[in-house]
Amino acid sequence: MSEGQKISVLGFGTMGAGIAQVCAEASHEVVVLETSDERLEDGRRRMESFLDEGVRRGKVTEGDRDEALARVRGTTKVGELAGCGVVIEAAVEDLGVKRELLPAVAEAVGEEAVLATNTSALSVTELAATVPRPERFGGLHFFNPAPLMPLVEVVAAEQSSGETLDFLEAFAEGLGKQPVRTKDRPGFLVNRLLMPYLNQVVQAYDDGLASAEDMDTALENGLGYPMGGLKLLDLIGLDVHLHATSAAYEQTHSPYLSPPPLLGRMVSAGYLGRKSGRGFYDWGEAS
């Protein structure tokens, strides 16, 4: 895919902002759709903060930062997505929201546009069924933080054509990412392997096997993981993991995917990890 294409990102939350940044840094024009001007402003600040940190660390030049920001604009009107050749849906992980949003966007961009979803927990096949010509629909699952994580899962819905999957793989490569193809199954590939591991870590902690610090130290220095499981959960967000593993369990009834009771209790208490200031660790003020 050539540079300078017009891309639409649906949603300007954590993932949407990261995906918009990645596309803009690859010289694509990006139009972000959100539900309000306030949410657009929040997403813009999130993207600016991430790029500013890149400048501070010497990873991004001030000129590159400014050019990337200039390529991204926001809108609350679906009609302004006309002319976008690629749509990446990164809205809230709510099936009802996505089922309502995708047909409206598909109508605005026309039947030649390629549509993709960044969902990590919902069926790509079910989402593809909401749009005309579902063969041009697939999964394009980025990992958080999208500007830094090199992997992108290209997920084949039952309706996805080989041409669409080839396009999405080439598109991801053009963003500087490493794509891997996977079938549309609960958790896809990475999360299907990750979720049981994190569930086991939470259960072992709840069983009193070790303190959070000792458990993560053992995982990092004994198994060579770059980050212990409890630290990783605090980074991901306990609510995010609970939602994902619950959705996967509902589809498979695999005991490995059943979320440990402690996870639900912590989410109910508002202990979501770094973003709330407290999870398995005390992170101070919410970030």
Residue 191 a catalytic site member: yes
Tokens 């609350």, residue? 76
Of 263, 239, 165, nearest in space to 14 by CA: 239
Residue 77: CB atoms within 10 Å: 8
Out of 120, 123, 160, 199, the active site residue is 120
Residue 153 a catalytic site member: yes
Residue 133: CB atoms within 10 Å: 16
Residue 49 a catalytic site member: no
Pairing of strands 6-10, 137-142: unpaired
Q: Checking phi first, is residue 133 left (phi over 0); if not, alpha (psi -120 to 50) or beta? A: left
Give the rounded distance of the alpha carbon of 254 from its chain centre. 24
Out of 29, 34, 89, 153, the active site residue is 153
Residue 199 a catalytic site member: no
Contact at 8 Å (CB) between 116 and 139? Answer: yes
Out of 191, 199, 258, 276, the active site residue is 191
Residue 268: CB atoms within 10 Å: 10
Out of 28, 29, 141, 160, the active site residue is 141
Residues labelled as active-site residues: 120, 141, 153, 191
